[in-house]
């Protein structure tokens, strides 16, 4: 997502902007799928609907909250610098997400059977 945001910050024509937006959407979708995969491992099946709903609600709330600083950056800095900063921040914290997740309790229970 960070790479797509950086690309989007440098775009000067519509076809490349469309490509950058598509890459950004794909990155966002992969993040959601990864979180939902964790839900499957960490929670029992009867809790899946609730946990998926909460995951999406928290994501939507985060999206709404993130519009405030982005709006200020767009107003003060313009399109390119605002998306360059957002992309740079995404790439900066990205390596923190590379470590493996802890073993899920549900997966451990399956292994112990």
Q: Which range marks the domain in which residue 80 is found? A: 2-112
What was the pLDDT predicted at 110?
56
Higher pLDDT residue, 96 or 111? Answer: 96
Ramachandran angles phi, psi of 108, nearest 5°: -65, -40
- The Cα-based distances of 108 to 4, 25, 103, 113 in angstroms read 36, 33, 7, 9
Instruction: Please give the full DSSP string across 42-82, using - where no structure is assigned.
Output: HS-GGGHHHHHHHHHHHHHHHHHHHHHHHHHHHHHH-HHHH
Tally of structural domains, the chain = 1
What are the structure tokens assigned to 96, written together?
Answer: 């923190």
Rounded mean pLDDT of the chain?
A: 86
What was the pLDDT predicted at 112?
44
The Cα angle at residue 63 between residues 61 and 66, in degrees rounded to 5: 110
Q: What is the mean pLDDT of residues 61-84?
A: 92
Q: Which band of pLDDT confidence, cut at 50, 70 and 90, is reported for residue 109?
A: low
Say yes or no to pLDDT of 68 above 70: yes
């Amino acid at each position: 997502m960070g790479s797509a945001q950086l690309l989007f910050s440098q775009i000067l024509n519509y076809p490349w902007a469309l490509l950058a937006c598509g890459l950004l959407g794909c990155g966002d979708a992969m993040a959601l799928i990864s979180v939902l995969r964790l839900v499957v491992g960490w929670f029992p099946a009867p809790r899946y609907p609730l946990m998926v709903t909460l995951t999406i609600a928290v994501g939507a709330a985060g999206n709404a909250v993130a519009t405030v600083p982005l709006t200020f950056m767009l107003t003060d800095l313009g399109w390119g610098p605002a998306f360059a900063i957002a992309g740079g921040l995404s790439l900066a914290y990205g390596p923190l997400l590379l470590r493996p997740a802890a073993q899920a309790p549900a997966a451990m229970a399956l292994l112990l059977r």
